[in-house]
Amino acid sequence: MERLAKIARKLSDASIKRYNSPYEEFQWPENLSLDDWHFSPELISIYGLEEFDALNDAQRKKLAFWETVNFFGINIHGEKALIGGLAEHLYYMDWSPELSEYLHHFLDEENKHMTVFGTFCHRYGKKVYADKKMSFPRKYEKGEADFLFFAKVVIFEELVDHYNLAMGKDERLHPLARQINQYHHNDESRHLAFGRELTKKLFEQWSPTWKPETVAGVQSYLANYMVSTWREYYNPAVYADAGIDNGYALYQKAWDAPVCRAHREAVSRSCIDYFLENRMMTEAPAL
């Protein structure tokens, strides 16, 4: 764990330097105006479809607002699971003290992110869209559950970060939405550096001890997990809240549309390459 311990130490130092309170960082206006953009139009889930083209500017901005509530909700649900798993890995087995030190920061930062996303959703959307991810309990080989947990974190955070990075720089966005995306990206870049390193290390350490079926199982599981993660970006309830008729049909259409699939593939490319290069996937998932 030497290389990893060194990285963890560096990241802890960076986290301490950047230590902040979201209660001081953010000013929350009483109301948000739907005359502003809160989500980049090109990142809206139905962008590129004729249904999107048919919307006028006000309708697009309204849809963008609900896409923001959905995106922040995806973060909330993902981070909730993340915090639970991070806590389990504090002072874990023979892992070096540097890892626990960094996991304290990781966990602290995720908790802060959740308060920011939660405040936005509750204050302006008056709700958090429900989580739709179910997990089915099963037995694991040694090291398998640890590996899968951190690999899933990488997938979840890679996709989110693509959106954060783009929207943190998008001058069209209302300053609050831009600031939240920027704030999140600043911490995520460290989480991803750590997550990529640890995930790879766990796979190298444990996969040689697994049965071939187990290795094949985790490879296909991760591909499936990426598909499920993407599903959450298409939410019929968002379309309904934006005043679009038959949100369910639109959800199905968007998921199957080549233009949307191309978007998912482009956003996921570097993440998929990472998994392929390290043999944690054998083929790119059918997104």
Partner 1 sequence: MSNFKTQIRDWILAKNPKVDGAVLTDDAPLLEKKILTSIQIMDLILYLEHLQGRPVDIDQVQPENFHSLNTIHAAFFAAAG
CA angle (104 as vertex; 157, 99 as ends), nearest 5: 85
**In the Cβ-directed half-sphere of 178, how many Cα atoms lie within 13 Å?**
9
Structure tokens at 33: 């105006």
The yes or no reply on residue 105 touching Fe ion (CB under 5 A) is: no
Task: Note whether 152 binds Fe ion by CB under 5 A.
Answer: no
Answer yes or no whether residue 102 interacts with partner 1 by CB under 8 A.
no
Shortest spacing between CB 73 and partner 1, in angstroms: 12
Distance of CA 241 to the CA centre of its chain: 23
Number of Cβ within 10 Å of residue 98's Cβ equals 19
Residue with tokens 């909730």: 80
Q: How far is the CB of 250 from partner 1 (least distance, A)?
A: 11
Positions 108 through 167 that interact with partner 1 (CB under 8 A):
130-137
Q: Does 231 bind partner 1 (CB under 8 A)?
A: yes
Cβ closer to partner 1: 5 or 227? 227
SS3 annotation, 56-77: CHHHHHHHHHHHHHHHHHHHHH
What token pair was written down for 41?
């139009």
38 binds, among Fe ion, partner 1, none (CB under 5 to 8 A by kind): none
E-strand ranges in 135-254 read none
How many residues make contact with partner 1 (CB under 8 A)? Answer: 17
- Binds 61: which of Fe ion, partner 1, none (CB < 5-8 Å by kind): none
Angle between helices 175-206 and 2-17 (to 10 degrees): 160
Rounded to the nearest whole angstrom, what is the least distance from the CB of residue 275 to partner 1 in the complex?
16
- Give the dihedral sign, CA 264/127/77/97: positive
- Residue 18 binds to partner 1 (criterion: CB under 8 A): no
Binds partner 1 (CB under 8 A): choice among 20, 205, 209, 224? 224
Measured CA to CA, the distance from residue 195 to residue 158 in angstroms comes to 10
Pick from 248, 262, 277, 279 the residue near partner 1 by CB under 8 A.
248
Taking CB under 8 A as the rule, does residue 269 contact partner 1?
no
Is position 190 an interface residue for Fe ion (rule: CB under 5 A)? no
What are the angstrom distances between the C-alpha of 152 and each of 104, 144, 149? 19, 12, 5
How many Å apart are CA 131 and CA 41, to the nearest integer? Answer: 24
Stretch that binds partner 1, among 50-58, 92-100, 116-124, 226-234 (CB under 8 A): 226-234
From the list 108-116, 136-144, 196-204, 262-270, the region that binds Fe ion by CB under 5 A is 108-116
112 binds Fe ion (CB under 5 A): no
Q: Using CB under 5 A, pick the residue from 113, 162, 174, 190 that binds Fe ion.
A: 113
Give me the residues that bind partner 1 (CB under 8 A), please. 130-137, 224, 227-228, 231-232, 236-237, 248, 251
